[in-house]
Amino acid sequence: MYSLNRAQIIGNVTRDPEMRYTPNGQAVCSLGVATNRRWRDKDGNNQEQTEFHNVVAWGKLAEIINQYVKKGNKIYVEGRLQTRQWEAQDGSKRSRTEIVMENFVFLTPKGAITEVGPTETEIEEFPEPEEEKTEKETPKTKKIAEKEEKNAEENEEEEINLDDIPF
């Protein structure tokens, strides 16, 4: 008889990933992901339920998760369900069901990562036409435009003489 153990969720990361290493040096990263379910009850009222999932990643995947995923990011997680059991320090038996991550897709848009402002590489490559540039220019884009003008002036001064080419 066949069996299938598959978990797929899309949700928001509830805490920054916690990176650890096993005694033999294997990387393990744990994080929480929250998913929401919305429905309308029999009285017509909107209801919402949030489910919190424990997710664990191992090896290279754990290192990638720790480096790029932050609290609040939206991710798709694919893996298998696993229940661990252990005995706590007070002697009580504990268990935890978690998703062992096998794959993920980062769903937070690149520009939505929490940053103070755009970096120079995120500023549009093609400038707006001169007529449309009114109050939209920020000091940062003005500085970049000034640098481009200065570079263009320097390039004009450095004309290439065909007699200087060594072949």
| pLDDT of the residue at 40 | 92
Whether 48 and 38 have beta carbons less than 8 Å apart is answered as yes
Record the tokens describing residue 25, joined without a space. Answer: 């040096």
| pLDDT of the residue at 114 | 45
| pLDDT of the residue at 121 | 40
**E strand or H helix that includes residue 9:** strand 7-13
pLDDT along the chain (167 residues), means of 10: 95 96 95 95 93 96 94 96 93 94 90 46 44 50 62 55 58
Task: List all residues 6 or more positions away from 103 whose beta carbon is below 8 Å from its beta carbon.
Answer: 77, 78, 79
Record the tokens describing residue 140, joined without a space. Answer: 């940062």
Task: For residues 50 and 3, give the distance between their C-alpha atoms in angstroms, rounded to a whole number.
Answer: 28
Threshold 0.85, pTM exceeds: no
**E strand or H helix that includes residue 139:** helix 139-157
In order of their start, the domains of the chain are: 7-109 (2.40.50.140), 120-158 (no CATH)
Whether 83 and 97 have beta carbons less than 8 Å apart is answered as yes
Task: For residues 20 and 67, give the distance between their C-alpha atoms in angstroms, rounded to a whole number.
Answer: 13
| pLDDT of the residue at 1 | 86
